[in-house]
Structures are given as structure tokens and as C-alpha cells.
Amino acid sequence: MDDQRPRPPPRPGPQDRAPLQDHPTGRTPRLRKGLRHTQGQAPGAFKPYLNSRFTAGCTSGTRLFHEIRERGYTGSIQVVRRHLAKLREGTVEPVRADIPRPRRIASWIMRPRETLTDQEVEKLLDVRVACPDIARACDLARCFRDLLVSRRGGLLLDWIRQAEQDAPAPVRSFAAFLRQDLDAVTAGLTLEWSSGKVEGNVNRVKTIKRVMYGRASFRPLRIRVLLRN
């Protein structure tokens, strides 16, 4: 007797499948990878540009958004506006990769403004915006440099009072150290006399001693020290 068990129905082929009505092409729509990341992309490498433009006076989020979009930015305008809001509040954090070394920042602060290049000025502005303590220390350091170069020691006490009010901790410590010997420091910033020439001669004698150590007696050493040549 033949086996009369029912066979399963055949699977529908591609020609039997009905096209999807919710997609115009009838194909299964594919979600773009990283769509959410693209829509919420942070300014990233464009933060220094936004910081410098904001410091220069351009605070329009729409305008800055179009400027960085022309430079390759693919994120949303809401992210740019949030970054500008942090700049207004002073709570923005700097990009770690864009932070120069402390010694380089100190050189930008202590050098005359006219000797800085445009790129160095922009980087210093980025650092000042990112860190209010550095901005305040920069102002006080440049003011102290002007006192030193112009020999205006009479204004030293006013500088110390400003530093003791709202300066960062290292600057306040330096101001307290100056107050301990205020008269001597004021004289050093006012008078043209200093111990620089004496220290220069001491260093010259030490250099000669190191050069001639073990190669000559005391008499040739004395002659060479006394003779400037």
C-alpha cells in the first residue's frame, strides 16, 4: 500500500513574494550605519575654530554652523549651539589633542604681542577661552612684564593686591613672596642698578676654572681671570 501522508506545501519563490508597500522600490529598506552618530556628531576638530571665532565676536550659531559645514563638518546645528552655550557659560572643556605644552603657552604669554604669529595668537585665544585661570594668569603676567621692562616699581603694590584677590593659586603664592621683601623688589623694578654684572663675572670665572682644571697652576689661572681676553 502506497504511503498517503500529506506533503508540506512548497516554499514560495522570489517571484511569489509580494513587494513591500511601505517602500517605493519594493525592497527591504536598510538602515544606514552610524546614522545616530552622524546626527549627533561633536564638533571635534572644529572646536578650536569655533572657539577662535567666538572670541573674535561671532556668536551666531547658524553662521558658525554654515562655516564649519563648508570645511567638512557633518553634524547637526544643535551640537554647535550646545558648544556655544558652554562657551558663554565658561564651562567648555578643551580638546586634549589641541592643548599645547605648558612651556609653549608660557612663551606665548611672556613674549611681546607683536612678536607672535597669527597662528600663535589663535592658539593662545583657544587656551584662554578653555581655561579662565590661564586667562587671568596671562593678564597678570603681562602686566608684571610691563612693570619690569618699563621700570615702574611704584605700581608693584597694586599688582600684588590684584593678584591676591582673584588670581590662581601659584600667582597668589608668588605675590605673597614679593610682599615679604617689598622694598627690595620695588627698588629692583625701579633703579637701574642690579647684581647682574657681578653675577656675570662670577659665571665667567667659574667657566675659566672648569676649562683649566688640572691643566695649569694657580698663577696662569689668575692671569687669565684678571685679563679679560
Exposure string (b/e) for 160-177, b if CB count within 10 Å is 16 or more? Answer: bebbeeebbeebbebbee
Average pLDDT over residues 83-90: 82
The string of pLDDT tens digits covering residues 100-133 is 888 888 899 888 888 889 888 888 888 888 788 8
Which cell numbers in the block locate residue 25?
A: 522600490
Residue of 71, 72, 76, 40 whose CA lies nearest to 61: 76
Strands (E) in 65-189, as ranges, are none
Identify which of 82, 81, 54 has the alpha carbon closest to the alpha carbon of residue 65.
81
Lowest-confidence range among 94-98, 159-163, 192-196? 94-98
Residue 201: all three cell numbers together: 663675572
Residue predicted with more confidence, 139 or 13: 139
CA 111 to chain centre: 16
User: Given this model, what pLDDT does residue 11 score?
Assistant: 65
* DSSP, res 75: S
Q: Residue 188 burial by CB count (10 A; 0-12/13-18/19+): exposed, middle or buried?
A: middle
220 Cβ contact partners less than 8 Å away, ≥ 6 residues apart: 212
* Nearest in space to 142 (alpha carbons), one of 115, 177, 118: 115
Mean pLDDT, the chain, rounded, equals 77
In the Cβ-directed half-sphere of 172, how many Cα atoms lie within 13 Å? 7
CA nearest 43: which of 17, 64, 18? Answer: 64
Burial tier of 137 (Cβ tally within 10 Å: 0-12, 13-18, 19+) = buried
Percentage above 90 pLDDT, the chain:
11
**Digit-coded pLDDT (tens) for 36-81:** 433 445 566 788 788 778 877 788 888 889 888 888 888 888 888 8
Q: Residues 65, 80: contact at Cβ < 8 Å?
A: yes
